[in-house]
Amino acid sequence: MGNDGRDGSQPRVPLLLDVDTGIDDALALLYAAASPEAELVAVTALHGNAPVEDTERNTRAVLELAGCEVEVAGGRGAPLLRPLETTPETHGPHGLGYATLPEPAGQRSARYGPDVMVDAARRRPGELTLVTLGPLTNLAVAVLAEPRLPSLLHRWIAMAGAFRVPGNTTPVSEWNIHCDPEAARIALGAWQTAVDADEAQPRAMIMGLDVTEGARLLPTHLDLLAAGGRGPVTDFASDALRFYFEFHARYDGFYGAFVHDPFVVAAALDPALVRTEPASVDVDASHGPGDGQTIADWRHTTGRRPNADVVVAADAEVFLARLVERVGGLAAARSR
The pLDDT value given to residue 6: 37
pLDDT for residue 137 is more than 60? yes
Could you please state the CATH topology (level 3) that the domain comprising 13-334 is classified under.
Inosine-uridine Nucleoside N-ribohydrolase; Chain A (3.90.245)
Angstrom distance (rounded) from CA 150 to CA 192: 10
Told to judge if 260 belongs to the known catalytic residues of this protein, a careful annotator would answer yes
* Top-confidence residue, 226 or 263: 263
Q: pLDDT-based confidence at 8, cuts 50/70/90?
A: very low
pLDDT for residue 7 is more than 50? no
Q: pLDDT-based confidence at 4, cuts 50/70/90?
A: very low
The pLDDT value given to residue 230: 86
Contacts of residue 264, defined as CB under 8 A and 6 or more positions apart, other chains included, come to: 28, 131, 133, 157, 158, 159, 207, 212
pLDDT for residue 246 is more than 50? yes
Whole-number average pLDDT of the chain: 95
The pLDDT value given to residue 325: 96
Other CB atoms within a 10 A radius of the CB of residue 276 amount to 20
Overall average pLDDT of the 307-313 stretch: 98
What does DSSP say about strands 204-207 and 216-217: parallel, antiparallel, or unpaired?
A: unpaired
Q: pLDDT-based confidence at 1, cuts 50/70/90?
A: very low
Listed by start position, the domains of the chain span 13-334
pLDDT for residue 261 is more than 80? yes
Q: pLDDT-based confidence at 228, cuts 50/70/90?
A: confident
Q: Using CB atoms within 10 A of its CB, is residue 113 exposed (0-12), middle (13-18) or buried (19+)?
A: buried
Considering 47, 91, 178, 260, which one is annotated as catalytic?
260
Return the beta strands (E) in the chain as ranges.
13-19, 38-45, 72-74, 129-132, 155-159, 204-207, 216-217, 257-258, 274-279, 281-283, 294-296, 308-314
% of the chain with per-residue pLDDT over 70? 97
Q: pLDDT-based confidence at 9, cuts 50/70/90?
A: low
Longest dimension (CA), the chain: 58
Overall average pLDDT of the 238-245 stretch: 97
Overall average pLDDT of the 28-48 stretch: 98
Overall average pLDDT of the 109-121 stretch: 98
The pLDDT value given to residue 130: 98
**Whether 256 contacts 219, CB under 8 Å:** yes
